[in-house]
Amino acid sequence: MFVFGYLRASTSEQNASRAKNALKAFANQNGHRIAGWYIDNVSGTTMNRPELIRLLGDAEPGDVILIEQVDRLTRLDDAGWETLRKQITDKQLAIVSLDLPTSHLALSSTVSDDFTRSMLKAVNGMMLDMLAAIARKDYEDRRRRQAEGICKAKTEGKYRGRVADAQKHELIRTLR
């Protein structure tokens, strides 16, 4: 079993080093080393994440994807989450999330009986589905509140939008 660390930041300005240190410490505390790091700087609302795709291709049955929080893995809509979950399940990968304590047992060899293993798998699957839905709802709520705030600011004459990139516009003019 290999443990792979997956990190995702929504923008290139965000830094994954804090989360990377947390995952590394967690793996060490549980007697494991991170076999490889996969770091995306892409929104969790899309499946078009090169490092996640590479991770799913590299991982073998029984391997573990270690994440800090479920929302780092997905903010996908229902159909997208079903697709991703199926890929993970088909490859027989385990998801261990620092914010989901029941998932931590995937790193332990102490669960020996089939009943306990089956129950934990079912509970973790249900919890992952719930946390994935919560992550998507959080994303949609923030987008809605942002749109409401922009609309209000526009009506009050306070919203100006993004500042124009004068250099880029000048370059375009010179290329014409």
Residues involved in catalysis:
10
96: part of which helix (H) or strand (E)? strand 94-97
Computed on alpha carbons and rounded to an integer, the radius of gyration of the chain in Å comes to 20
What is the 3-state composition of the chain as percent helix, strand, coil, each rounded to the nearest 5?
Answer: 55, 10, 30
Distance, CA of 13 to CA of 29 (rounded, Å): 30
Sheet arrangement for strand 34-40: 34-40, 3-8, 64-67, 94-97
- C-alpha closest to that of 57 among 28, 23, 91: 91
